[in-house]
Amino acid sequence: MRRAIFPGSFDPLTNGHLDIIMRSSPLFDEIIIAVLNNPDKNPMFSVEERRDMISKLLPSTANGNCRLMVESFSGLTADFARERRATAIVRGIRAVSDYEYELRMALMNRRLEPNIETVFLMAAEEYSYVSSDLMKQVFRLGGRVEGLIPELVEEKMREKLS
Ligand SMILES: Nc1ncnc2c1ncn2[C@@H]1O[C@H](COP(=O)(O)OP(=O)(O)O)[C@@H](O)[C@H]1O
Ligand SMILES: [Mg+2]
């Protein structure tokens, strides 16, 4: 039984995140999308709202027989992974700029939990510049973000800002 977690803020979920979920699905039997509860980040969506959006979008994301679940957590990613008996942490890499931060996190997590491996997947070219922050910025200023985030997420952002 190969279980992974895919941790992140997902504030909000983008097509880049969905692409990583789809790509990692064939590699695992189960993936827990783990929404980090980090109030310092002053998120646009509450953890519950983020979880709710993700769970509505997961059925259409399934790729093969992988079971996809969404949960939230706070504290150390390594602790959460161990508690859920995951053997891997999935992360996406968009550009060299992601690499340095991700390398530090992966090495620290390895030190904390030597049995859990971080698995990096390269972003799809078409989403390699997509980040939750950029989507929020552009959306707030009235720019078009369709095709880069799921329609449901766009609707929820519109509701938030109206
Ligand atoms: N467009 C994208 N393509 C591929 N991976 C992405 C994309 N956007 C974010 N990711 C990856 O998804 C993971 C979660 O990202 P994010 O929601 O920003 O949470 P965090 O706060 O942990 O960075 C990270 O590994 C990030 O690199
Ligand atoms: Mg990020």
Q: Where are the domains of the chain?
A: 3-161
The yes-or-no answer on residue 41 being catalytic is: yes
Query: How many other CB atoms sit within 10 Å of the CB of residue 71?
Result: 15
Q: Residue 83 — pLDDT band, cuts 50, 70, 90?
A: very high
The yes-or-no answer on residue 128 being catalytic is: no
Pocket of ligand 1 (CB under 6 A): 8-10, 14, 16-17, 19-20, 91-92, 94, 98, 123, 127, 130-132
The answer for residues whose C-beta is within 8 angstroms of residue 107's C-beta and 6 or more apart is none
Q: Name the 3-class secondary structure at 105.
A: helix
Q: Is 0.95 surpassed by the pTM of this model?
A: yes
102 close to 93: Cβ distance less than 8 angstroms: yes
Ligand index nearest the alpha carbon of residue 43 = 1
Q: What tokens does 41 get?
A: 């980040």
- The residue annotated as part of the active site, out of 50, 91, 94, 156, is 94
Average pLDDT, the chain: 96
Tell me what pLDDT residue 61 has.
78
- The residue annotated as part of the active site, out of 17, 50, 136, 156, is 17
Query: How many other CB atoms sit within 10 Å of the CB of residue 162?
Result: 5
Higher pLDDT pick, 59 / 154: 154
Q: What is the Cα–Cα distance from 22 to 85, expressed in whole angstroms?
A: 21
| pLDDT above 90 for 63 | no
Higher pLDDT pick, 70 / 62: 70
Lowest mean pLDDT among 37-41, 48-52, 100-104: 37-41
For residues 112-133, give the mean pLDDT: 97
Q: Residue 62 — pLDDT band, cuts 50, 70, 90?
A: confident
Instruction: Name the fold adopted by 3-161.
Output: Rossmann fold (3.40.50)
Ligand 2 midpoint to CA 132 (Å): 7
